[in-house]
Amino acid sequence: MDEHTEMSKASQRDQAAMETGRIPLTASQANAWFAQRMNPGIPDCLARYVTIDGPLDAGILRRAIDQTAAECGLTTTRITEHDGWPYQQITSAPRGAGLAIVDLSGEDDPAGAAQDWMCLQRSTPVDMLHGPLLEAALLVLGPSQHIWYTRVHRIIADPASCQLFLRRVAQVHNAMLADRSAPPFRGLPITDLVEQDHAYRGSAAYDGDHDYWSTTLDGATEATSLAGTTAPASVATVRESAAIPASTASMLDEVAQYSSSTATAIITAAFAGYLSRITGTSDTTLTFPVPARTRIAIRRSASALGNTVPLRTGINEDTTISEAIRAARDRIAGAIAHQRFRNDDIIREHGLIGDHAHAFGPTINLALADPTILIEGTTAVSQSLTDGLVHDLVVTIRYDQHSALVLDIEANPKLYTHEEIAAHLQRFLNFLGKFGDSDPRTPLRSVAGIQPLLQLV
């Protein structure tokens, strides 16, 4: 059966479902459904926490969460199954998010106890059909110290939705605190998002994206891992973080100016070079998360639309620094321009991943939103606990609350130990400094900073 016939039959099935009140899933939701059904005991969720310093009214926060969750469809969406196929239905009577209050103030180390509680909570299995798909808790560390924890299943939200949700809760909270109405929520209803998502597959934009990825990935090789092997995806991870030294950050800004690039593109180029140096791969490809939102109205909307696409940089040990930066810059731009073409379609058509299920290589994640959450009367900063299951290794480039660049490395503990991740982070930071400080004509094999070389196991 060819693709057009499959699409036609799917369209007929979806139209029949809509007439009975069942709404089809977006492509991203369908991906989450089938991935979760294959591993029902491993929750495929996103989790965020917000540290809040200052006086906080838990009752107002609960009301703000409940209102925002309903606006974003996080407590009004029900996942159903009909004839073996998943759908969603919207209820007019949302269940509350059920903000749990967890008092940890009596612990010897309240902050450490909070981290332990959240890590355990994020690992709890989720029933997609019966929920809850959204969970929230307020961890009390002291009289004016709290952590607001949120976990949501990937079948109803993605990282962009999480960020939107946190900011909207703060906006509603502040309005309630001042006894005024919050500005209206401007997100699209799920029916509109589904219609646009499905219409894309029959559009000229889809054909253009298909052609781009076909050309870009022609002859691409299998994914490469710093671990040298594969393992099942894990909800538990090992993580290490470090601020990029101020001197390195300043140097990156200078390189960005003369190369007509950005600091994040330079870091991406350097990481691709690091991967090539460690593994010897001659065709470096990375996994690149994208929001799959190309219109303003959709960017204001909460749902599961996110995607991951390959960054086939082609960077290898013979690539010069200037060539690597240009390749990373251009591939990032291309990936963003063609971000709606689904990773499932790329995998099926190009067979890129081999044994590396659902990944094109280590992930480079550009999470550059301001982490500050404007909760009136407090200092509140958001932090990602997880963006879902980790297959191999994720490098996240983000800003802290002081606008300083930070690198996080999060990895699958079935592939990496904490000591290995700490060593990778330190070696990469060393390599990054040498990368930015070297003559742009220098080939990557001559860039210092990787001593001693890691051995694959």
Domain ranges of the chain: 3-191, 221-369+389-446
Cα 332 from Cα 297, distance rounded (Å): 23
Predicted model pTM: 0.92
Architecture of domain 221-369+389-446: 2-Layer Sandwich (3.30)
According to DSSP, residue 315 is labeled -
Determine the 3-state secondary structure of 62 from DSSP.
Answer: helix
3-191 and 221-369+389-446 have identical folds: yes
The token pair at 162 is 């999480």
Residue whose C-alpha is closest to residue 50's, from 404, 370, 278: 370
Determine the 3-state secondary structure of 448 from DSSP.
Answer: coil
Residues near 326 by beta carbon (within 8 Å), at least 6 away in sequence: 259, 261
Whether 393 contacts 411, CB under 8 Å: yes
Amino acid, single-letter form, for residue 78: R
Q: How high is the pLDDT of residue 165?
A: 98
Q: How high is the pLDDT of residue 453?
A: 43
Determine the 3-state secondary structure of 194 from DSSP.
Answer: helix
Q: How high is the pLDDT of residue 96?
A: 81
The token pair at 325 is 């930066």
The token pair at 394 is 């994720």
Q: How high is the pLDDT of residue 181?
A: 96
What would you report as the CA-atom Rg of the chain, rounded to the nearest whole angstrom? 22
Residues composing the chain = 457
Going 245 to 249 to 255 to 260, the CA torsion angle's sign is: positive
Q: How high is the pLDDT of residue 451?
A: 67
Give me the DSSP letters along 341-408: S-HHHHHHHH---TTSTT-SSSEEEEE-S--EE--TTSEEEEEEEESS-BSSEEEEEEE-TTS-EEEE
Whether 97 contacts 135, CB under 8 Å: yes
Give me the DSSP letters along 6-55: HHHHHHHHHHHHHHTTPBPPPHHHHHHHHHHHHSTTS--EEEEEEEEES-
The token pair at 455 is 């051995």
Amino acid, single-letter form, for residue 135: E
Q: What is the pLDDT along the chain (457 residues), one digit of tens a residue?
A: 455 555 555 555 555 555 568 999 999 999 999 999 988 999 999 999 999 999 999 999 999 999 999 999 999 999 999 998 999 999 987 778 889 999 999 999 999 999 999 999 999 999 999 989 999 999 999 999 999 999 999 999 999 999 999 999 999 999 999 999 999 999 999 999 999 999 999 999 999 999 999 999 998 888 889 998 989 999 999 999 999 999 999 999 999 999 999 999 999 999 999 999 999 999 999 999 999 999 999 999 999 999 999 999 999 999 999 999 999 999 999 999 999 999 999 988 876 655 544 579 999 999 999 999 999 999 999 999 999 999 999 999 999 999 999 999 999 999 999 999 999 999 999 999 999 999 999 999 999 988 654 444 3
Instruction: Write a three-state SS string for 79-144.
Output: EEEECCEEEEEECCCCCCCCCEEEECCCCCCHHHHHHHHHHHHHCCCCCCCCCCCEEEEEEEEECC
Q: How high is the pLDDT of residue 318?
A: 96
Burial class (CB in 10 A: 0-12, 13-18, 19+), 45: buried
According to DSSP, residue 179 is labeled T
Tell me which CATH homologous superfamily contains domain 3-191.
Chloramphenicol acetyltransferase-like domain (3.30.559.10)
